[in-house]
Each structure stands twice: as C-alpha cells, then as structure tokens.
Structure 1
Amino acid sequence: MDGKPIHSERHMRVVCVGAGASGLCLAYKLQRSFQNFSLTIYEKNADVGGVWFQNRYPGCECDYEAHNYTYSWEPNPDWPQVYASAKEIRGYFGGFASKYGLYRYCKFNHRVLAADWAETQGVWKLTVRDSDAETMTEEFDIFVNATGILSTCKWPDIPHLDKFQGAKMHSGAWDESIDLAGKRVCLVGNGSSGQQILKAIQPIVGHLTVIIRQPTWLFGPFGEAQRVYSPEELERHKADSKFLTSKRKQFEGRVNSYFGICLKDSPQQAQMRVLLTEVIRQKLLETNSETLDASVVVPGYAVGCRRPTPGVGYIEALASPNVSVVTGEVTKVTKTGVVDNNNIEHAADILIFATGFDASHRPPFPVHGSGGKNLQELWRERATAYLALAAPDMPNYFVFSGPNNPYASGSYLVTIEAQADYMLKMCDRWQTENILSFAPKKEVVQELQEQIDTMLARTIWSDSCSSWYKPHGRDTPASLWPGSGLHYMEAISTVRTEDYDFQYQGNRFGWLGNGVSQVESDPDCDPAFYVREKDDSEMIGKRNRRRILAAGERPEAQFLDSFGPREELK
C-alpha cells in the first residue's frame, strides 16, 4: 500500500455458507457498499430461502406477521394474508435475490465439507463438494457462516428407531410423496412445527397419536388473527407506502415492548401467566373434552422459557375424536409403533418427528482455526462467542445468529441486518488497511459470557424447561442474549476494536500509503467537501446520534430544539 493513497482498497474475497435470509442480506449489503470484492455463496439446497426452502411440512407458515417478516427496507405489499406460508416466504426471498442480482453469487447444491485457516497465508481454504459430486478447494480472505441453527434435523435418540417397518420422517425433511390419508400416524413433538402439522393432518389421517413431552404456552396470534386480505386492502398496501410503513411500525413497536415479560419476577410475567392460563382453561371447557385436562396443556415453567406458540386451533385438534394424547416420552420403537414411558405400545403406520434441529451452534462441518483448533470441538460442551458474531482462534470468521443471539427478545430479520452491518465494518477495515487477520480475544469472550450469565439469571430463560434455547438440557444456561432485541442492536452498533487481536502484513501503519488522500485521487470527489452552509455533520455523542437515528419523521431542527438545555441531558 506504500505507493498508493491512504486507505487504498485491496481485492477482498468473501465466502458465505448458506443462502437463507442471512446470506442474502450479506450479499445485498456487500454489493451495495463495496467495490473490488468477490463473493461466493455455497448453498447445499437447490435454491435460496434456507429453512423456508427446506421446511415443506403441511401447515408450515411463519407465526410473525408477514409484513414484518421482511428486510426493514424491503416491504412486500403483495402478501396475500396476515401470516405467510413457507412457499410464499420462499417466493419473497427468491424475488429479493432476483431483483438485486444476488443469484450470480450463489452456487447451489454445493456442500461445504471443511474449512481450514492457513496461518501463514492468512486465508481460509474451504473444501466443497459440488453438484456433480466433485470435490474442490477454494481460498478466501473472509469467511461468513450463515448456516443457522435451524437447518440440521435433530432426530431423537430412541432405541430401535431403525427397526420401524413403516414410513418415518422429520418435519425439517418432509417426504411429500408419503400419503397420510386414512393412516395411523404417531406425531412426536408439540412445538411450533408439531402444532402446525397436527392441525394440518388431523382432518385427513385415520388416527393420530400425539406424544407430548411437556406443554407449550399458547399465546394466541402474535399479531392479528390469520385472514386473507381483501382486494381493497391489497390495493392500499401497494398504493399507500406510508400506510404500509405505519402498519409495520405498529407491529414492530409491540414486539419491542415485549421484554418486560422476559423478566421472571416482573409484574408483566405474572400477569401474562395468569391471563394465558385462563384462556387455555376456557378453551378446554369449550371443547368439552373428556380426555384433555389442564395438566396436558398448561406448562409449569415461566411464559417464554420455551418459545411460545400461537396455538390457534391446537387444543381443538387435540380434542378431536381421532386423536389420542400421550404425555411423556417414547422409550423405544417397535416394528409397528412406539412404546411410551408407561410401557404402552401405540400402533402406527407412519412416524413423524417434529423434534427440532441441532441448536448447539456447532458448525455442520469442521472449522479449523488458529493452531488447527476445531470449532466443532471448542463448542461441544458449550458454545461461547463474541456478541453472537465471532469466536476466538477463528481469524477473519463471522457467524450469523451465533451463541447468545436475541432469538427470544427481538425481531429476527432486523437482527440479521445489524449483524451484517457489523461484519462489513470489519471487512472495510480489512480491505483498506494492511490487516492479515483479526479475531476476538479469549479473555474478552470469557468476561462477556460471565456478564451474560449474570444477566440471564434474572430472566425467564433461567427457568427449568426443555427448549432449543437450551441446547444442552432443561437446566443448563440458555444460549440467548440477556436483553431486548433493541439492546442487542445497540450493543453491536459500534465496533470495539480493543476486543480484537489484530495481525498485520508488515508495518501496521502501511495503510498510510504515499501521503495522498482518497479525495484527491478520486475525480468524482469535491476537494473542498467540508465547506457548507450549515452543520449537517453526524452527531458524535451516542445520545444525540441515537435520537437523530430514531427520530422518525420529525424535522431534525425541531427535534434538536426539543432536547432542552444541555445540563438537562446529563
């Protein structure tokens, strides 16, 4: 860089594994903000969409209002109903990728087998099996893991599972060729997927045995009730962008006022528990069921310790004449059914496991960082990361939605956007300075985890429950952010470079170059750019910067005048 202007860009080779919501967000933002880069996205599936491509079970839909299950800058006025199906969400991400030309970066049906950090070269070497089953190795400067934790199906560890002579499938790997009509079906699991499957298949199967290990809190719709939008509503969503934005803000505002419920001793938690218990008991009375009682459907743990579900139509489906409810666990599988923990066998033609995914955060392939350390092994007992984004001993490595991600307290896609911004700030430094590598310091991550654990102790996620939030057991620490989603976004809004170990190529100040600025070197830049009629520069202090950012549509001057005398801002 010595013979070039300050902050000269070098070519940056970025690899991302996964073309779901996270991978596409990264591609869009990288393309929007950077030049002189290459991006390769390896995707094991045949198209974009991630979990929404992979999950095709009956009744699969998002329980977050569709108009808010979009990137914050990319609304979709064409959602046909309040909650979108998996197919409709696949269409949204496919349309997004097409609109912004993101397919050019994607290599589908490519499965990453291993990733190895080459210390002296400062590059990642990824071994990949392509769509023709050929294996190749490619080199990259920055490695982003966007595989998520809801992609590797978690089959239950049940004795003799392989002995079953009928069909068996997992909710995350649905076999659409299997005909359920009139069959005896055993469904294991009653989280979001299990409840959606139950509601969808109950009317068509001959008999359905549902195995419930623990009850789930039923929230009711997270927004308004599911319904198809009228032609007039659809037209207004398309024609009136301000109305649609207001609608989205209203829903998002409710989501961001939720955190009080997440504190286990809060009045909000106590009130919610009483309210939901009464609603569930009332539904039980309305079904007039002789087989269901409150112990089957009212949890004993705090509301939110396990992810709540809308539960619309769930109790009614459980109370149907062709449904048998078994509380407990499957202890073994026979040739013709399953045996519960009371040693009672339940005959079945088909077994369906809605038992979730491997949520341990361990990558689905070996990731060897500094000194050959394998992240799969480092995270075997417990995964600890830096702000759910990076890991010690893993140079130039980022992960979307890593350990301690705010899954339970914030808006998922907006969190992804904030994480992508953070990653690209670090990429910008790598590209314009002579950095060889960067990775968070071990002692920093350890101290951060101690703080997170202290904060988690006062939340509902420290209660005893079985949940994918707790990948190592019901009484182990949750792998969640201990604050609200907005709290997390503010925490990662600034890069704390003091938390990282940097290695440089040559003198760390080599990026100073030849003494010429980039403004002088770029004919499209104004060399007197700083001369202006008013001070419209960015606020430096966090409070004023935050207020300007979150001011909404209020004029800046009016908003600043409302701050009051400076002494009131202490």
Structure 2
Amino acid sequence: MNFCTGENIPDEYVPMMLGEMTLAASDVYSIEWHQRPSPETLDRFRVLVIGAGMSGLCAAIRLEEAGIPYIVVEKNDRVGGTWLENTYPGCRVDVQNHFYSYSFEPNHDWPEYYSRRDDLQSYFERCADKYGVRDNIRFETEVVSAHYDDEAKRWNVHLRSADGSEYDLEANAIISGVGQLNRPKIPGLRGLESFAGPTFHSARWEHHHDLDGKRVAVVGTGASAMQFAPELAESAERLEIFQRSPNWANYSAEYSKQVSDNKRWLLKNVPYYAKWYRFILFWRTSDGAYPALQVDPDWPHPERSLNATNDMMREMISTYIRSEIGDDPELLAKVLPTYPPFGKRILIDNGWFRMVKRSNVDLITENIREVTRDAIVVDSGERFEVDAIVFATGFHSHRFLWPMEIVGRSGVALREVWGENPRAYLGVTVPDFPNLFCLYGPNTNLGHGGSIIFHTECQVRYVLRCLRELLEQGNAALEVRRDVHDDYNDRVDAMHSNMVWAHAGMNSWYKNSAGRVTTNSPWRLVDYWKMTEEPDLSDYIVS
C-alpha cells in the first residue's frame, strides 16, 4: 500500500483493504452464517426494502445471497434511483468509477473515468439482472406508511401503486434505501407561481422544453449546476446564473477522458492491477484527504483555512481558479470562496470558470427579491428577463424517509422524533423503531470525498448481520438502546466540532437550522468500516 500511494499507510487499513480489494480469504461484506436457520425459520421472516437505487439493490443482492425472503418496493418504473431520475445535460459521477462501483461487481469496461449517467444506469440494471433480484421488485409502488406492532413484532406497511390502488403487507424488518438526496427542494420565491415560462428542478429535468436560443435562469450553483450549466451556455441566448455562494472546484485531467483500450486491457488481464488501482483511488479521494478537514487550534489564519494542509489546498485551487478567470477582479471575487476548502464538497471543474466569462452568461450574486411573469428581480431592483427557470437548489436533505409516515413502537412518528435534527446509531438504527434500518441515513454522507457505495456496503453488511443474529438465535426484534444511540451521537457532534463543516463561515445543506451537522459523517472510512463490521448485541434490546 505504501508503494502504490507513495505514502505511509497505517497497518489498521490492511484488513479493510484486503476485503475492499477482494483479496481476503472470504467476502468480508457477506453475511457468513454461524448456523444457518432452517428453511421454515427463513420462510417465516420477511424483509421489506424501500427503494431500488444503489443502496436498495445492494441490500437486495445480499439478502438474495443469504437466502432471506425479501420484497423491494420502488416508486419508479426501473431500478437506478439517482441515476434513473437525474437526466440533466452533462450528468455524470464525480468519483472515479473504478471506485464508485460495488466491490463484488467491478466493471473494467467503463467508457470514461467519470462515467455519464446512462453508463451508470446501465451498470445498476445489469446488477439487478445478474444477481437475480429483479423479480422481487414491485415497481411503481410507494410506501405510504409503516406502523410497528409491538405485540406481533412486525411492521404493518401501507402501499400505493401507480394506478392509485392501495394495499397492506407485513414485514419483520424494513431496510430503507431511499437515502438523503431524492426529494428535490425548490425555494419559495415570492411570485414564482406567476412566472409564465417553464420552471423545473434539475433532478426532474423536463426534456420536452427546448431551451436552445432561450433566455434561461439557473438558480443555484452546486454540484449539478456545475455539470449542466456549461452545456446550457453553449446553446442558450442568455444564461443568468443566480449564486448564493461559490464552490471550490479543481481541475482533473481525467474528468472527461475516455478510458483507453490499453487501460482496459490492463484492468482485465494483469493480475491484481485493477485491485490496486481501486485502492489508490480509495486513498486519494477519501482518507488520504482527512487531515485537511481538522481544525488546528494554533493555526494563525482560521478565517480562511483550518490548518497548514488545508491552506495549501486553498492556495493550489485558488491558483487554478485565477488562471481560468484571468484579469477580471470583479468576476474573481464572485467565484473565489472565502470559506475553507472542504466546507462544501470540492467539485470538479466542468468548464465552469470559462463559462462564466462568456459574453452570454451573467453570474449574479445578489439575493432574489421576487419572480414576475417574465423576469427575476434581485434586491437592487435589477430585472433579468428570462424564458425559463431551472432550479439547482438541492434536496430536502434533513427530511429523511419523508414523505412516508413511519410510526414506532410507542406510537410516535419518526418525523416527530427527528424534526430537523435526524439522528441514528451508526446512521442506521433509531430507539423505539425496532428492526428499522436506514441506508445512507443521518451523518453518513461523505462530504470530503470517497464513494458512497463504500458506506452502503458497510451498512448493508451490518444490517444483514443484525438479521443473522435474530434468525440464528430465534429472536424477533432488535432495538438500539437509547443510551448507546445518544452516546454515539454525542461522539459524532464532538468530532464535528473540530472539523470544517462546523466552521463559523459555513452555511450549507450539511447543517440544520440550529447549526448542527446532520448529514455528514465525521469518521474516516476505516473507522466506519470497523464500527459496522459486526453488531454488538449488548447495544440492543433483543426480544
């Protein structure tokens, strides 16, 4: 590992990387029965998986492998989740695909290093077929509500199909694979309902609207806008971009690069080449960058950075941005962040900085005052006449499992328990909600980098091993102890207090209205891998 990275990798990474690179003697993410239950015991136990995106598919594949009966319900008509729903121009992954893929299903035929939406969607479609889970998916079906019956130790789930028909089913356990970023958020701008042209969110792109030659407004400048706005600028008459805060965005030579035939040959034919390549991507894009996120209390420039490493990164990216913007101090002031690097996820420049220099593009940093029939008006009173508005304004990231009504053992809904402050043990389990498991739950987003698929595989392993303990020991339910849950979240908050997302200059979707970081994980990937390796039943009330 040291040789591949040119750095000193701690020994604690060895067990994790042997599994992640599939070099271990057995699959470290599998269930590994100690004593396989009888077919009758398994037949009496049913798991409901909500969602057939990346996380839900991973859970279904592992349940299928373990022989545990399950049903997947998916609101869309196909698998894929994020990669099915997001179809905006330029949509692609911002983590290299040879890491952004299941450890058990490497793909040596990715056409690009950062592949486009259609290639990602095809990958998950192939996984659904190869691992035999498609027949267990009920498409165009949504969970309306789920109520836990403490006497029966089951969840009573109410479902709605696309035709409007509703029905109920029972499940011994629920695995939620709906994630954090699946319900688009459109700001409540004054007068928006009066706008005469089309308005839509980038995550629900309305392709029947022809934007060529039109005056288009883009509200928001996050990760999605970074990808689609440069493409819109090529064909729009004018592009009016309304920005709340700029992003740190760096150059990557491989971002739009095709994977060569020679590279594919190496991945397919040279022993262990693909495995070590995956490790290099892991280290470079995740834990290798972790020290840059930590506050150095003795650092003399806390207003601009956290520590010497963070400041070096700030200067490196700033130099790149200046080289792209050139001699335009007014524009440079708009695009150069004042907060520390990693305060928001560092993006990859998709031609953004060259785009904002175009003669048909305006970058507006004033607040929007109102929307009229044909324009957006900012606080100064200046009007920007537009024919269409595209919102790149993120998601309801704090409203986990919304709009489903999930009611626990005590008869209290999860939305009432959480409000805008969702918390869960390991981001997975919640007191008073037995046998309810969340994937990509609270405080599991990777804000500093890395592949969310890695976190999902850790969570699915943990959940299935919880189910293994229930089935092997003849028990019905697991409920995390409140003191264990609270202690874990106290540690999460303590870690965050010394990290970039809690910086006084930061205001992002990572935080709730009270300033608590509710979305991001504070842990190194190796820490979370260890935490989720095996469940400790003493953390739970078992019944």
Q: C-alpha distance in 1, partners of 2:513/2:70?
A: 35
Partner deviation per Cα, 1:330-371 (whole Å, 9 max, x = no partner):
222111121122222211100000001110043121100112
Match of 1:375 in 2: 414
Residue in structure 2 matching 1:175, options 199, 206, 216: 206
- In structure 2, runs of 5+ residues without a counterpart are 1-34, 297-306
1:465 alignment counterpart: 506
Query: Are positions 1:435 and 2:475 aligned together?
Result: yes
With over 3 angstroms needed to count, the CA separation of the structure-2 counterparts of 1:171 and 1:120, relative to structure 1, is same
Alignment-derived partner of residue 147 in structure 1: 178
Give the CA deviation at 1:177. Answer: 0.8
Q: Quick check: 1:251 aligned with 2:281?
A: yes
CA distance in 2, matches of 1:486, 1:267: 24
**C-alpha displacement at 1:415, in angstroms?**
1.0
Change in CA separation of 1:61 and 1:7 when aligned onto 2, cut-off 3 Å: closer
Alignment of 1:102-501 (within 5 A): 102-221=133-252, 224-240=254-270, 242-255=272-285, 256-265=287-296, 266-285=307-326, 288-289=327-328, 292-293=331-332, 295-364=333-402, 365-409=404-448, 410-463=450-503, 464-472=505-513, 475-501=515-541
Separation in 2, partners of 1:423, 1:144? 8
Relative to structure 2, which stretch is displaced further, 234-243 or 399-408? 234-243
Aligned equivalents of 1:129 and 1:120: distance in 2?
Answer: 25
- How far 1:7 sits from its partner (Å)? 5.8
Q: Deviations for 1:384-431, whole angstroms, at most 9, x for unmatched residues?
A: 111101111111100001111141244311111110000001101121
Query: 1:543 corresponds to which residue?
Result: none
Unaligned runs of 5+ in 1: 504-570
Please say if residues 289 and 319 of structure 1, whose CA atoms lie closer than 8 Å, have aligned partners that are also in contact: no
Q: Determine if contact 2:427/2:438 at 8 Å carries over to the other structure.
A: yes
Structure 1 contact 43–111 (Cα < 8 Å) conserved: yes
Q: How many Å apart are 1:74 and its aligned residue?
A: 1.1
Moved more, 378-387 or 242-251: 242-251
Q: Is the 8 A contact 1:406 1:485 kept in 2?
A: no
- TM-score w.r.t. the length of structure 1 is 0.83
Aligned position for 1:552 = none
Amino acid at match of 1:453: D
After superposition, the Cα gap between the structure-2 partners of 1:408 and 1:307, relative to the gap in structure 1 and judged at 3 Å, is same
Partner amino acid, structure 2, of 1:26:
A
* Structure 1 pair 394–321 and aligned structure 2 pair: CA distance change class (3 A): same
Q: Distance in 1 between matches of 2:180 and 2:530?
A: 23
Q: Deviations over 1:131-153 (max 9, x none)?
A: 32210101000101110111000
For 2:187 and 2:120, how far apart are their aligned partners in 1?
A: 28
Partners of 2:365 and 2:216 in 1: CA distance: 16
Counterparts in 2 of 1:435 and 1:421: CA distance versus 1, 3 Å: same
C-alpha displacement of 1:241: 5.4
What secondary structure sits across from 1:114 in the alignment? strand
Deviation track 1:102-153 (CA, whole Å, cap 9, x = no partner) reads 1011111111111111121111111111132210101000101110111000
Instruction: Write the letter of the residue equivalent to 2:412.
Output: K
1:478, distance to aligned residue in structure 2 (A): 4.5
> Which stretch shows the higher mean deviation, 134-143 or 404-413?
404-413
Q: Residue type of the partner of 2:527?
A: H
Corresponding residue number in structure 2 for 1:18: 51
Q: How far apart, CA to CA, are the structure 2 residues paired with 1:289 and 1:196?
A: 23
| Residue identity opposite 2:322 in structure 1 | R
Q: Residue 27 of structure 1 is aligned with which of 47, 55, 60?
A: 60
Distance 1:7 1:76, change over 3 A: closer
Name the CA distance, whole Å, in 2 between partners of 1:290 and 1:462.
Answer: 29
Q: Aligned equivalents of 1:170 and 1:203: distance in 2?
A: 20
In the TM superposition, what is the alpha-carbon distance from 1:246 to its structure 2 partner? 2.5
Fraction of identical pairs, as percent: 28
Deviation per CA, 1:31-58, whole angstroms, max 9, x where unpaired?
11x23x3211100011111111000001
